[in-house]
Amino acid sequence: MKYENILFEIKNHIAIVTINRPDKLNALNGKTIDELDDVLNSIKNNSDIFVAILTGSGEKAFVAGADISELNKLDVLSAKEFSEKGNRVFRSIEILDKPVIAAVNGFALGGGCELALACHIRIASDNAKFGQPEVNLGIIPGYGGTQRLSRLVNNALALEMILTGDLVSAEEALKIGLINKIYPSTELLKKTIELADKICSKGQQAVRFALKAVKASDNMSLTEGLAYEASLFALVCGTEDFQEGTKAFLEKRKPDFKHR
């Protein structure tokens, strides 16, 4: 399917999804959210895709937020629908059984920061800037920012960002645990693809079980989480990849995982 505001390509088991409205700094309008929803469904249902990368078009922005020209028209009821829809789409990233990496190539503001927060791993360019500037518009984050930011960085830092709307540089974001790594902007996509390639080279059933187990820890007590881990550990030991991975180690060779 051809999209108006999104570029979607698949290469070597990696899906690259580029939000493509560079003249509006890739701001998320309703159409883009619908297209993202559709792309995420395609990724979920395509067994040839092992890892997805989300990025923005151009050199300036990952995503500069929800489209303010649409926000401006919301009333109470449509605002509830707007927020619920965005939350559903972003949640589908978080619960996808394939890793999603945000390659943050510039401004990640408001809905852009929230989009990055919904991804499993965040890699940023050295010119990236993160922020939840909604208070400047007289609103609060509506795509998960109030919930995910405080789960990722400490509560007081999340509140400082959300209450002041101040932007945080890539270095600061790295320091507070908001992102995993920083690269020069010219190398960002290449380095993110290298990371995705590395994940693709592992046993994919193990990758999916590991992702499931770690993400479950968001909603479980330690006791529940350990029980869940033991169940998934048992299941993964029933796979061919487990047989191959352990056998290859003992035979001092590289594992030949079946790619499926």
Q: Shortest approach of ligand COA to residue 134 CB, angstroms? A: 5
Question: Which of 56/203 has CB closer to ligand COA?
Answer: 56
Question: Which of 65/203 has CB closer to ligand COA?
Answer: 65
Question: Which of 24/212 has CB closer to ligand COA?
Answer: 24
Look at the block and give the residue holding tokens 């909603």.
219
Give residue 140's Cα distance to chain centre.
21
Residue 35, C-beta contacts closer than 8 angstroms, at least 6 positions apart: 3, 4, 5, 6
Question: Which of 125/204 has CB closer to ligand COA?
Answer: 125
Q: Which two tokens stand for residue 52?
A: 């997805």
The number of residues in the chain equals 260
Question: Which of 109/119 has CB closer to ligand COA?
Answer: 109
Question: Under a CB-based contact definition with an 8 Å cutoff, are residues 178 and 130 in contact?
Answer: yes
Q: Shortest approach of ligand COA to residue 165 CB, angstroms? A: 8
Q: Shortest approach of ligand COA to residue 138 CB, angstroms? A: 11
Question: Under a CB-based contact definition with an 8 Å cutoff, are residues 116 and 56 in contact?
Answer: no
- Residue in 4, 134, 194, 251 annotated catalytic: 134
Annotated active-site residue 171? The verdict is no
Q: Shortest approach of ligand COA to residue 64 CB, angstroms? A: 4
- Residue in 81, 114, 194, 229 annotated catalytic: 114
Our CA dihedral for 178, 182, 185, 189, rounded to 10 degrees, sits at: -90
In this structure, what are the phi and psi dihedrals at residue 120, rounded to the nearest 5 degrees?
A: -85, -30
Edge-to-edge strand order for the sheet containing 129-131?
A: 61-63, 107-109, 129-131, 168-169
**Among 237, 208, 245, 239, residue whose Cα is nearest residue 257:** 245
Annotated active-site residue 114? The verdict is yes
Helix 145-152 vs helix 111-118: crossing angle, to nearest 10: 50
- List residues binding ligand COA (CB under 6 A): 24-25, 27, 64-69, 107, 109-111, 133-134, 137
**Among 86, 117, 85, residue whose Cα is nearest residue 101:** 117
Q: Shortest approach of ligand COA to residue 70 CB, angstroms? A: 8
Residues annotated catalytic, as ranges: 114, 134
